[in-house]
Amino acid sequence: MDSRQVIYDTFLKKFEDSSRNNVGVELEFPMVNLSNAPVDMAVMRGLIDSFLDEDFSVEERDAEGNPVFISNADGDVLSFDNSYNNFEFSMEKNDNLLDISKRFYVLLDRAQSFLKPYNHRLVGLGTNPNKEYINSDPVSFDIYVLIKSFLSQYQGGEYHSYIDFPAYMSSVQTHLDLPLNSLPKALTIFAKLDFVRAILFSNSPAFGEEKEKYPDCKCFRDYLWEKSGFGSLSNNVGKVNKTFDTVDDIIDDIGKRSMFHNNTGLIEPVSVMEYFKGNPASDMEHYLSFKNMEVTRRGTLEVRSDCAQPFDKAFSPPAFNLGVLSSLDECIEITDKFFAENNITSTNSQLRDDVIYYGKLPTDKDATYKFVNDIKNTARNALIKRGKGEEALLV
């Protein structure tokens, strides 16, 4: 079997349709019981039922038959991501981010209104502030149970002890449509701007022993991902440090990722390129990767390293990312000039780690924040030019 063709067909073929011009957003938020106790399962099931009683229907159920993924006529999906402490709004993509936000805020208001009498709330943070009180068991859904089983194998030494971290970590993920010929440079610049988004959108302080080690940490989510068992895999987690000049460069990069489970369950990790020399292409449905930037099976460029935000700023990261995509060449020019003038040679990983762990900027504060503001204003102006009112979301 031609592994490169499998990768191309799975991840890149959809980008050939240059008419696609949509944006999609997944927003996760911590669920908290304000009584400083685990979330009440009856309340969680009641929340889902409250949507089912009106305009939602069941997409998938867990092993006990409880609805865990529900959808409406717009294509929006509500679910508990990994655990009952993390509620996700997966908003159906279209060409207007403002329209998506309006649908989201209606759904959020419905959820919060249901939860309020039970002293439960969703909160706009990247990690759950009630971590010490939660029940971190995964939802009894195959992939969540498998992830727990995988992470349980890696504790101590170079790995942290928070093997249940998916239960109390929340992000906002932006899915961007773009043509195939723009994908390499888009992936490169989004990876290069990872430290900028860390400055703008970090919202998950450290906890536990690491709070003393990293007192200035602003995005503990990176640590939780990279120092977990997922960090044992060859290329499935963390920042993207490559420069992509061609589609073949992207295929090479994906080929170095690991397959660590298939339809039989967990397997000895093997590179994607090696795996698909002898296994059916359909096994790609079991592929899991958690890089900060991903080229997805949906045919989107996914930016997934942004923390969940306070509700009034929930769409700032997607708006920023859409604005950057809409002014790609200008953002590349501004970034290249900033790096050259300040002799910045650090990797993308080093730049983002310096920001999130130590509050360290790549050059002096004035120059860095001028650059950040230049990129943000460029993104805002690109949204204004789109003429859809989306610039109101970039706050």
What is the rounded CA–CA span in Å between residue 133 and residue 35?
Answer: 10
Spell out, as residue ranges, where the chain has pLDDT lower than 70.
Answer: none
**For residue 305, what is the DSSP state?**
E
Q: What local confidence, expressed as pLDDT, does residue 242 receive?
A: 95
Q: Token pair for residue 188?
A: 């490169």
The identity of residue 279, as a single letter, is N
pLDDT digits (tens, 9 = 90+) for 43-93: 999 999 999 999 999 999 999 999 999 999 999 999 999 999 999 999 999
pLDDT digits (tens, 9 = 90+) for 209-227: 899 999 999 999 999 999 9
What is the rounded CA–CA span in Å between residue 252 and residue 376?
Answer: 31
What is the rounded CA–CA span in Å between residue 202 and residue 262?
Answer: 34
Q: What local confidence, expressed as pLDDT, does residue 35 receive?
A: 97
How far from 52 is each of 28, 66, 71, 82, 114, CA to CA, in Å?
Answer: 20, 12, 9, 20, 13
CATH number corresponding to 3-387: 3.30.590.20
Q: What local confidence, expressed as pLDDT, does residue 234 receive?
A: 87
How many Cα atoms occupy the beta-carbon half-sphere of 391 within 13 Å? 14
Q: Which residues of 299-317 are buried (b: 16+ CB within 10 A; e: fewer)?
A: bbbbbbbbbbbebebbbbb
User: With the C-alpha atoms ordered 228, 230, 232, 234, is the resulting torsion angle positive or negative?
Assistant: negative
pLDDT digits (tens, 9 = 90+) for 231-259: 999 899 999 999 999 999 999 999 999 99
Bin 360: left if φ > 0, else alpha if -120 < ψ < 50, else beta.
beta
Q: What local confidence, expressed as pLDDT, does residue 359 receive?
A: 95
List the end-to-end C-alpha distance of the chain, in Å, as a whole number.
48
Q: What local confidence, expressed as pLDDT, does residue 209 receive?
A: 87
Q: What local confidence, expressed as pLDDT, does residue 358 receive?
A: 96
Q: What local confidence, expressed as pLDDT, does residue 341 receive?
A: 97
Can you give the three-state secondary structure of 8-56, one letter per residue? HHHHHHHHHCCCCCCEEEEEEEEEEECCCCCCCHHHHHHHHHHHHCCCC
Alpha helices (H) along the chain? 3-7, 41-52, 97-115, 142-151, 183-192, 194-201, 210-213, 220-226, 247-255, 272-275, 316-326, 328-341, 348-358, 365-386
